[in-house]
Structure 1
Amino acid sequence: MVLARRTAMVCAAGVLALVGCSPGGGGSMAEPTHTAVATVTASSASPSPGSPTSSPSVSVPASTTPSPVPVTGAGQKLVTMTVSGGFAGVNRQVVLRGDGTVRTTDRGESVVRRTTAAQFMELRTLLGDRSLADVPGFAMNMGAADMFQYTLQFDDRTVITDRSAEEPALDRLIDALDKWLPTQ
């Protein structure tokens, strides 16, 4: 019985440690983005002869994934991202609309392309990440020179960043939108 309790405690500690780890984070702990519950059950009865040895069972709910932002109409602007600055004085823009089209503008030329259903769902899901609500409206390193400035407009707010502060949800959104911009 003592062995079963110790095994259950070790398993519970292992599960809780894994829930807090971030993938690829170099062993560092990440802030949890969801609540996880670990349930460990160990039988206090001795196993009967011929029956398998009881082992602890662990139950951890799946992580909560963001819901895609709703679309209210084809002309709805879901997100607008403007990239400006840098040494060369870049000024580029990408706009995702409710009909799944992406309009990019660079050096005065606009191009409209259509997303696939999977790409549209991915972008809407990134926009639905609740962590975006915690991103500050202005995060710039005022001592840095020649950095790109990203201005994003979504969900009735504007966020301005140079990406010098670590904001994982915002960084994922910027990276996904950046893929639509023409390469230099």
Structure 2
Amino acid sequence: MRGRRAVVVAGLVGVLGLAGCSPGDEEGSAKQTDAVTASSSAPSPGSPTPEPSSSPSPSPSVSASPSARPSPVPVTGPEQKLVTMTISGGYAGVSKKVVLRGDGTVRATDEGRTVVRRTGAAQFTKLRTLLGDPALDEVPEFTIDMGAADMFQYTLQFDGRTVMTDRSAGQPALDRLIGALEAWLPKG
């Protein structure tokens, strides 16, 4: 039993090391530990502990392996909503929305002003590839800092999921998707 605990502790130290945590990095350590805790679970006392492999496996919070490259999400029809993003909050109480459809159109609304534009083939593939990033599967459904005031809140609906964030939890795949969608909002 003692040997199994040592393997689990050694495994956790290895995962934290892969995630970029170090004993002297208090701020990064807390953030990385939270990410690992939120996306993995410890074995129950009665369950067998997996044997260590000869090569370290990446933690769930680390980007997917090179073999799991993002590929564009499939399109089933022109009316399909691939992603809907709503932005609300802030000091001024903003209300913005971006919808990407299967026909390559983007409908963007900012404070009542709506613009509908068509993506180019490369832009459409890029947006679909961002949606197909396997790292999005690891993004929690709710990452909002309840202690922060007046931050924008982003609600994204895609692939049968709803994800809410204020972007305080550093999720690179989600941040890339949000940035690409925000670019379609009307200017001025």
Query: Corresponding residue for 2:119?
Result: 115
Asked if 1:131 corresponds to 2:135, the answer is yes
8 Å CA contact retained: 2:68, 2:134: no
CA-CA distance at 1:111 after TM superposition: 1.2
Asked if 1:89 corresponds to 2:93, the answer is yes
Greater helix fraction, Structure 1 or Structure 2: 2
Query: Corresponding residue for 2:147?
Result: 143
8 Å CA contact retained: 2:114, 2:186: no
| Ranges in structure 2 where 5+ consecutive residues have no aligned partner | 1-17, 21-60
User: Cα deviation per residue 1:81-121 (whole Å; 9 max; x = unaligned)?
Assistant: 00000011100000000000000111222210000000000
1:68 is paired with a residue of what secondary structure? coil
Asked if 1:68 corresponds to 2:72, the answer is yes
TM-score (structure 1 length as normaliser): 0.67
Q: Give the letter for the 1:169 counterpart.
A: A
Rg: which structure is higher? 1
Identity %: 68
1:180 is paired with a residue of what secondary structure? coil
| Ranges in structure 1 where 5+ consecutive residues have no aligned partner | 1-19, 23-29, 35-61
Query: Corresponding residue for 1:159?
Result: 163
Aligned residues: 131
Query: Corresponding residue for 2:39?
Result: none
Asked if 1:33 corresponds to 2:37, the answer is no
User: Cα deviation per residue 1:114-166 (whole Å; 9 max; x = unaligned)?
Assistant: 00000000000000011111111100000001100000000001000000001
RMSD: 1.9
Runs (4+) of structure 1 moved beyond 6 Å?
none
